[in-house]
Structures are given as structure tokens and as C-alpha cells.
Structure 1
Amino acid sequence: MTMLTFSEMLSALPQIEDESRGIAKYLGKAVVLSCAVGAALAGAGMYWNKASLVYMACLPIVLSLIGMAVDAVLEYRSIAETMREPGSWLSSELDQRFAREKQLAAELAKFDLVELKRMYARLEAELVRVERALDVLKPIGMALPAIAILVAVDVLHLPGMVQDVVKLFAIAGTLGAMIGAVSLYKANVRLRTVSATLHYAISVAEAVAKPSFRKVSRKRR
């Protein structure tokens, strides 16, 4: 029997999603694409000294902001629906998730215990790396808006075109940092679920492998 990979474990876990937020799956990609197009136009405008290209870069940035606003509205609607009966909704979702995680843990417990422990340790190390990346994105997400504000109030006394370019890149960088942070957070939550399932599987495998002592009755002669 071949050990399951991390990808197989992740795909085996339940993914409970709100059908009304189906469009939100594509909003993140659209925002990233818009930011990339805006950065490319701004870079081309600076390279060829074309102010028109720099100003054209504002359009993808505006589209990115609109996409994030739509995503925020969808998220608010989803939260509002769940908040009507939060206890019932949360308990039902947890029951579904735990039942599937328990079933997956029972399947994993059949594999080699040493291999399960090695995969658990490797996954925990990866989770630490993801959390460190989130710690790096936090100050970046705060520094870029501060730079945009300094340029907007003309504290640095930069030329007008340079101010526009710096503000454009600061806005694009802020959006990128926000998208990256959200993506890493979602990945961290999913991987934490796999980690908990592996930990439970290890406990089950250890309980099965633990030798049981039988009482031996001695008959007197």
C-alpha cells in the first residue's frame, strides 16, 4: 500500500463552499492579472518616457479595486447569511469536516507509523515557513500605503510624474501584499487541517501498535 501524498490528503478533505460565491474564485486571478498589466504599462512608460502609458496603467489598478470591492460585498453577504444562525451553521460545518477528517485519519493509520511521523514533522516545518512569510507581508502591507501618503502630501518634493509612478507602484504593491496574505492564510488553514488529521492518525496508529498485556491465569496443582 502506497503512502498518500500531501496533495492527496488535501484533496480528500472536505471543501465546504458557498455556491453564491462561485464568482469569487475568479476575482483573485483577475485582480492579480490587472495589477500585472498595470505594472507592465507603468514600467514601459518609464522606459520609453511615455506619460500616456503610465496613465493608462491606472485603468487596470482601478479594475483591481473594483474587483476587490465586489469580493468584499460577496464576503459580506456570505457572512451575513451565516450570522443569522451562527451556532447551527458552525456546528453543522464542523460535524461534516470532522467526520471526513476522522475517516481520512483512519485510512492513514494503516500506513507505516514512522512515515506518518516524518510527514507530520515535514508539514509542521512548512507551516512555520508559511507563517514567517505572513509575518514579512504584514510590515510590507503597512509600509507601502505610508509611502503613497508621503508622496501624495508632497513631503519628498518629487516631480509630478515621479509622484504618479511611485503612488501607482505603492497601490499595486499594497494590493499584491493583500492578495498574497489572504492566499497564504487560506493555505495555512488548509495545511493546519491536514496536520491535525496526521496527528490524529499517528495517535490511532500508536494505539494499535501498543502491545496489549494478557492476564495469564495460573492454576494451582
Structure 2
Amino acid sequence: MKWLRTLIIFDKGDVIASPDWSAVHESYVRSIASIDFPRGSGLLKLRKKAKRPDGQWNRNGVGFLKKGFLEHIVDVEGWHAEVNFDLGSNNQPPKLKLFPSLNEHQEPITSEFGDFDLVTTGSNGMHIAIEWETGNISSSHRSMNKLAIALAAGTIQAGVLIVPSRELYEHLTDRIGNIGELSGYLDMWKKLDARVERGLLAITIVEHDLLTDEPDFPYLPSGNDGRAAQGRAKKK
């Protein structure tokens, strides 16, 4: 799999110049490059999406890509998977107003942010979290918001969302989060830096190495949940 580019959404405190950030970026880019299909080929070759006789589409699943990334970054690079950062006292409801009384109100926080896909600590103590996108576009928004909240709380100093390019998206399960659909929100996330004392928020974009329309070349396997099935079959 190819690393295309990393977009720095904001960088407070010159995190980008730190040795920890450089080492972390190199680490997860190596893990991206480790994803290949067929296994052992060294390249990610994908079957192009194809319309079936019934007018619906065959596409590649996304679980295989995340699995390959996790295997390398955990087993080889030494990161930790599915780790929760407890925001503790920083996770307090904001002071709001009710209408029409205009009384002060704090709406209780009744939902959890969930685990980060991956975390690590740099040699100089920097905490970094990564989210790898395998869900639909709303999942990408949740991941970016979660990373921004953790950065504002000071729980992490760097947060990264890894998403497919628009070109890769075309051949994956329908509606998977991708940079094309996130591009219109970058300015909004950039302005969240005002809440961060020191921290970096980034989006890394990945893509296949090769495409083929060989009829005997297999598609990447898909999950069996309703959303995956819907994405495989949707007309477009």
C-alpha cells in the first residue's frame, strides 16, 4: 500500500519538529507499506470495482487492510491496540443556557468516546493516537472529533486519522470514509487549535499500488454486517 501524503491540520507548540513525531510518522508509514495483496507480493494490488449483470457492484472489503496494518504496527513496531485514554476531570459538560428560561444548564455526558485504534509513547514521552478508518463517513467525523478532544485535554500530543484517497475509495465498500468527503471540513478542524496548548492533528492518506480488471483476481474479503453487505450491493 502507498502512503500518499500527511496533512497537518494544526500544530501547536511545534510538535512537528520533535524527534518523537518524526519517529512515529516513519513507524506508521512503514506499517502502511507492509500491507500487500496477494500476501508476500510487496504491493497492494486491487481488483477494480465491477458492475454485475443485475446492475449492482462488486467492491473490495476494508477489514483486510486494517488487519494488515495492525499486525505490522503492533507486532513489528510495538504499538498498543485498542487503548482507552480516560479524560478524567477534563471530560466535563460545558455550561449552556436553556431556552426560554435562559437558566444555566450542564447536560450530563452519557456517552463514551471509546478506544483509540492504536497508541504509542515516543522516547521523549509524547503520547500519540491513531485511528484507521474502516467505517462510513460519519465514523471519520467521530474519529477526528475524538482526537481533537483528547488533544485539547492534553491526554495526547499527536492524533492521526488514516483514510483512503478518493481513488482508492472508488474500489472499496461503499461510503467508506475518505479524504474527498472530509476535505470540506478541514477548515473547521483547523480552527480547533485554539483549544489546544500543545498538540498536532493530522490526516494521512493512503492508496493502492496497482489496479487490475483480471476476471480471476479476487476481491479483498468483506465483513458480513448489514452495512458491508449494503455497500457491496449498492447501485451507483
Q: Give TM-score scaled by structure 1 length.
A: 0.29
Answer with 1 or 2: which has the greater Rg: 1
Structure with a larger share of its residues in helix: 1
Higher relative contact order (CA 8 A, sep 6+): 2
Q: Give TM-score scaled by structure 2 length.
A: 0.27
